[in-house]
Amino acid sequence: MGQQIDPLTSVESDIRAVLVDAPPLSVRDGGVIRSGYSAEIDELRQVAGSGKEWLTFIEQRERDRTGIRSLKVGFTRVFGYYIEVSRAQLDNVPADYIRKQTLANGERFITPELKKYEETIIGAEEKLKQLEYQAFVELRGRIVQVLTTLQKTAHQVAELDVWLSMAHIAVERGYVRPEVHEGTTLLIEGGRHPVVEASVGPGVFVPNDTRFDEKQSLLLITGPNMAGKSTYMRQVALIVLMAQIGSFVPANRAIIGLADRIFTRVGASDDLASGQSTFMVEMTEVAHILHHATERSLLILDEVGRGTSTYDGMAIAWSVAEAVHRMGARALFATHYHELVQLESTLERAACYNVAIRESDDTIVFLHQIRPGGVDKSYGIQVARLAGLPSSVIRRAHEILSTLEQGKKSTASTIGDAPSAEIALTEPVVSPMMLMESAVGGEVDQLALFYPNGEPVKKSGKTAVSERLVNQLTRLDINRMTPLEALTWIAKAQKKIKQGDGSWD
Ligand SMILES: Nc1ncnc2c1ncn2[C@@H]1O[C@H](COP(=O)(O)OP(=O)(O)OP(=O)(O)O)[C@@H](O)[C@H]1O
Ligand SMILES: [Mg+2]
């Protein structure tokens, strides 16, 4: 490449000869042309720049001539050059001084000599600017002659810069040369995230392996918050991208089956101005991916279905995972819906991985290690505590969580002293399997979240209300009810609940 580049040495020396080292922003106000380039410019600059010395000379001469020791020669933009004499000395002013301006404690005069000098100086300045600009325009004209070569050189230098930067980074950060091939197998050993690695410092980042082959195309990644799921998935995408643009990659070894495109669905964002809510943006992106990805694509799906209710979100995540699997694209799919782990047994090319942590006492240690298998815990509350949520909030969250988890086992249960009659579930209490069963006539395992008078139900007395209600509800044959009958039943149920009536039937 270096041999092909035309370094345009004549242009370089032309520029060096004509322009000063650090030219001003404006090319019309002078100070652009290097001295020694044009005799005319140098001469004018001499004249234009000699003002100060000349003023001192005239000032001294006039003081001597008039005997006025406080006499001053100065310049203003408006009046030009002047001689200033204080009020006390006005009697000594010679006849050839012409009065120009009266001040509070003196007068300003001009002389024909000053006037003439002024014209020379100002003329010289104007002429100088003109000549400098002209020299600049001529230089520009000469460069334009070789424009095509210049642009080609610029392009080549830019390209060289890219390769050089990649090579530099590769050596400095221990990257390897990827083996790129036409198949779809994707194998990364000891892969690292180039940016996170650089920011956590050398030796701190935990490398991880990745495998996509004919046996596994959909990797379901579970693991606690902060474990490193997003980092891992993005590192795979980045390694593929780097390999395909011709860079070495942050790994010990990488075999990269070419991807036609890399699609990502990551993070929460919205576009309120153009009428898109957070969830709408998420779904629009997922839709785009499902419509455009091919079996050669690489998909990064980070927690699809997060921004809506638990069941809706999980159902969408589940169904998207199935669609991606049908498509056959290589996909990394991170999720906190642990139920999705079941997909490993139903989808042929789905495989579960999780990010390891170590639990010690009440804290967790993030190991950032990817290993086979799924997990069923998020440690969200622990991470929330690490993030600084008030301890009262954390304590309460633990309470609610344990009640909810009990609820998974017993059909009807109540929540401690819940202040409100409703709790938004952050964790799913039914699995999609159950949801699907319910869709075809099975029963849904549901928590009872009803309280008489908005008060918690006491274990002894009124627990019966919610239990019976649930029993009743489960036994209702909705298919044989009219909407009116259903409505009437709901109204009745509501009334009973409000009254805290234990005699439910
Ligand atoms: N392999 C790694 N080695 C060292 N540090 C890592 C590694 N992976 C992730 N981290 C650190 O852990 C932080 C959290 O990682 P990441 O955002 O990937 O977690 P996550 O599992 O996606 O969490 P969440 O479920 O909350 O989205 C990162 O900002 C990074 O600093
Ligand atoms: Mg994440």
Could you tell me the sign of the dihedral formed by the alpha carbons of 476, 478, 481, 487, in that order? Answer: positive
Task: Place 421 in a pLDDT band, splitting at 50, 70 and 90.
Answer: very low
The confidence score (pLDDT) of residue 410 equals 57
**The pLDDT value given to residue 376:** 76
Residue 158 forms part of a structural domain? no
Lowest-confidence segment of 16-25, 160-169, 351-360 by average pLDDT = 351-360
| Closest-approaching ligand to the CA atom of 191 | 1
What's the longest Cα–Cα distance across the chain? 126
Judge whether 101 lies within some domain: yes
Strand partners, 354: 222, 371
Q: Is the dihedral of CA 456, 462, 465, 470 positive or negative?
A: positive
| Ligand number, closest to the Cα atom of 356 | 1
One domain, residues 77 and 116 = yes
The total domain count for the chain is: 3
In a domain, 484, yes or no: yes
Q: What is the per-residue pLDDT for 89?
A: 92
- Answer yes or no: do 351 and 471 share one domain: no
259 found inside a domain:
yes
Q: What is the pLDDT of residue 173?
A: 95
As a whole number, mean pLDDT of residues 240-264 equals 97
Host domain of residue 114: 11-144
Instruction: Write down the mean pLDDT value for the chain.
Output: 86
Is 187 in the same domain as 310?
A: yes
Confirm whether 155 is domain-assigned. no
Query: Which residue has the CA at smallest separation from atom 11 of ligand 1?
Result: 228
Q: Does position 425 have pLDDT exceeding 50, yes or no?
A: no
Phi and psi of 193, rounded to 5°? -85, 115
- Asked, for residue 294, whether it belongs to a domain, the answer is yes
Q: Are residues 360 and 415 in the same domain?
A: no
- The domain spanning residue 34 has which CATH number? 1.10.1420.10
Task: Select from 144, 164, 197 the last residue of a domain.
Answer: 144
Which one of 144, 167, 195 terminates a domain?
Answer: 144
What whole-number distance in Å separates Cα of residue 131 and Cα of residue 69?
41
Q: Does residue 398 sit within a domain?
A: no
Average pLDDT, integer, range 458-472:
63
**What's the pLDDT tens digit per position in 359-393?**
887 778 889 999 999 887 778 898 898 899 999 99
User: Do 378 and 423 fall within a single domain?
Assistant: no
368 and 226 share one domain: yes
Q: Of the residues 323, 352, 384, which one is the last residue of a structural domain?
A: 384
131 and 271 assigned to the same domain: no
Q: What is the pLDDT of residues 345-368, one digit of tens each?
A: 999 999 999 998 888 877 788 899
- From 192, 206, 210, 231, mutation site for ligand 1 pocket: most ligand atoms within 8 A of C-beta: 231
The values of phi and psi at residue 370, to 5°, are -85, 130
**Range name among 90-94, 175-179, 289-293, 422-426 with the lowest pLDDT average:** 422-426
For ligand 1, atom 16: residue with the closest CA: 228
pLDDT (0 to 100) of residue 53: 83
Domain assignment of residue 261, yes or no: yes
**Measuring from each residue's beta carbon to the nearest atom of ligand 1, which residues come in under 6 Å?**
196, 200, 205-206, 223, 225-231, 355, 368
Residue 174 has pLDDT above 60, yes or no: yes
Q: Do residues 183 and 251 share a domain?
A: yes
Q: What percent of the chain has pLDDT over 90?
A: 61
Pocket-testing residue among 225, 368, 382, ligand 1, by greatest number of atoms within 8 A of Cβ: 368
DSSP single-letter state for residue 255: E
Q: Are residues 369 and 424 in the same domain?
A: no
Asked whether residue 224 falls in the same domain as residue 313, the answer is: yes
